[in-house]
Amino acid sequence: EVQLVESGGGLVQPGASLKLSCVASGFTFSDYWMSWVRQTPGKTMEWIGDIKYDGSYTNYAPSLKNRFTISRDNAKSTLYLQMSNVRSEDTATYYCTGNWFAYWGQGTLVTVSS
């Protein structure tokens, strides 16, 4: 059974940094591009970026490129999202996805507030 399990969300203050993780199982993680997508409280979906199966290439939404970094550790079947200088508008549920959006995690909620 395919599973993607995100963690690392929570309440953070504006300007802080946060690192989200997504542990994959049930498929060969190192064979797939992986993505991060977020959903705001108002249910708007936003693509954050993706990373090639070997970690050698990343793409980002231009509006997030300077603050968010995607990485992966194929030995641990884990995808990461490093968020820096977070803002209130980063408040959202963050999902990792794979296999061209066929696989989704349960999401982890990030709330940015002082």
Partner 1 sequence: DVVLTQTPPTLSATIGQSVSISCRSSQSLLDSDGDTYLNWLLQRPGQSPQLLIYSVSNLESGVPNRFSGSGSETDFTLKISGVEAEDLGVYYCMQATHAPLTFGSGTKLEIK
Stretch that binds partner 1, among 13-21, 70-78, 81-89, 97-105 (CB under 8 A): 97-105
104 is a site residue for partner 1 (CB under 8 A): yes
Q: What is 35-82 written as a DSSP string?
A: EEEEE-TT--EEEEEEE-TTSS-EEE-TTTTTTEEEEEEGGGTEEEEE
Contact track, partner 1, 45-84, x by CB under 8 A: xxx-----------xxxx----------------------
114 is a site residue for partner 1 (CB under 8 A): no
Of the residues 20, 107, 108, 110, which one makes contact with partner 1 according to CB under 8 A: 107
Of the residues 44, 56, 113, 114, which one makes contact with partner 1 according to CB under 8 A: 44
- Taking the complex as a whole, the smallest distance from the CB of residue 27 to partner 1 amounts, in Å, to 13
Pick the closest to residue 20 from 99, 100, 113, 109 (CA basis): 109
- Are 71 and 23 in contact by the 8 Å Cβ rule? The answer is no
Pick the closest to residue 79 from 48, 46, 41 (CA basis): 48
